[in-house]
Homo-oligomer: A and B are copies of this chain.
Amino acid sequence: MSLFSHQHLFDFAQAIFIKMGSSETDARIASRTLLSADLRGVDSHGVARLSGYVRLWEKKRINPTPEIRIVHETPSTAVVDGDAGLGLVVAPFAMQVAIEKAEKVGTGWVSVKNSNHYGIAGYHSLKASEKDMVGISMTNASPLVSPTYSKERLLGTNPIAVAIPAGEEPPFVGDFATTPAANGKLEVLQRKGGEAPLGWIQDKDGQGTQNAHGVKEGGAWLPLGGTREHGSHKGYILGSVVDIFSAVLSGANYGPWAPPFVSYLEPASDPVGEGLGHFFGAMRVDAFRPADEFKSHMDNWIRRFRGSEPVNPEQPVVIPGDPERAMEAERMENGIPLLQPVVDDLTALGEKFGVKF
């Protein structure tokens, strides 16, 4: 584990995106989106994925010079065509459209097609909360999750983020995959040789398993809830809503047709749409009540919840967004830790493009 400054990793990512052919502006936007994952502690979605984007570009599945544009709109909605550009650039464009619509008519809702992996959901939702708006962000993803009662992988881990501004308190930022845990936690258990908790995954026959390699061996993630008795049908509903809002509303590939992020898996030969889909929302809080009133009640909400009596005095109640914000401050100050395989991968990537890591 070595530590790297945010600036160092940002400059490196930007240089690589420029080598791929991105404009300087796009490379900057993409690097900012990508690095927000490292800063907020979602290590699986940050620079560790940079060479994954490069491999997709090598396969011509990412267009470095996209013409991202609105293809359908009303005063409060739009569909954005990402033109196969980096999701890291397409998503900020689309969220900006949602924000501009909200400025005019109170709310803005944008569904996106022809995109790919957009980084972490929470980053995009924060763009709205910075402007006194509720921000909503979701995306579909490669199929890894079986609906309740199914053996097949039909849904991605389809995350949802909701950012809500407060006054003196920092914003509420919920950001979660619609599975019991993040896929990265399973990868940790695979490396350690540990067992997965029952209720996370099923094997290829649809039976609950603790084998941490179960998904790789033909099984699937269970939806949030885990078993039917514990509400997996609710996680199945959530993952489905993300899929439909992101891809059926926009004209992207949905369900099992969602294209894989990894370059060694080919997209479906019978696509039902274009690329991957996202969905963004922005709601001006003063479209409902005066902003200062809303924010002082959010402060009250946050303080009441944060101050509630904990089960264990050493583990206080957490407001969604608190841990990621603390991590961001710490990593901005002390640097971002990268595992040796990631350092080796980025070093090789740099050598390939003539960029020093």
Contacts and interface: CB of A to CB of B under 8 A. Distances in A.
Interface of A: 72, 74-77, 79, 105-107, 109, 111, 134, 147-152, 154, 162, 164, 172, 174, 176, 178-181, 197, 199-200, 202, 205-207, 224-226, 229-231, 233-238, 240-241, 243-245, 248-251, 254-256, 272-273, 283-285, 287-289, 293-294, 297-298, 300-301, 304-305, 308-312, 315-318, 320
Contacts of A298: 244, 248
Contacts of A284: 74, 77
Contacts of A147: 305, 308, 317
A138 to B, nearest CB: 12
22 contacts: A72-B288, A75-B75, A76-B106, A76-B107, A76-B287, A77-B107, A77-B284, A149-B311, A150-B308, A151-B310, A172-B240, A172-B244, A174-B238, A176-B234, A176-B237, A197-B229, A205-B311, A224-B231, A226-B230, A248-B298, A249-B294, A256-B304
B288 A77 contact: yes
Contact of A248 (B237, B249, B294, B308): B294
Contact of A106 (B109, B248, B317): B109
A297 B316 CA distance: 46
Interface centre among A180, A202, A230, A310 (most CB of B within 10 A): A230
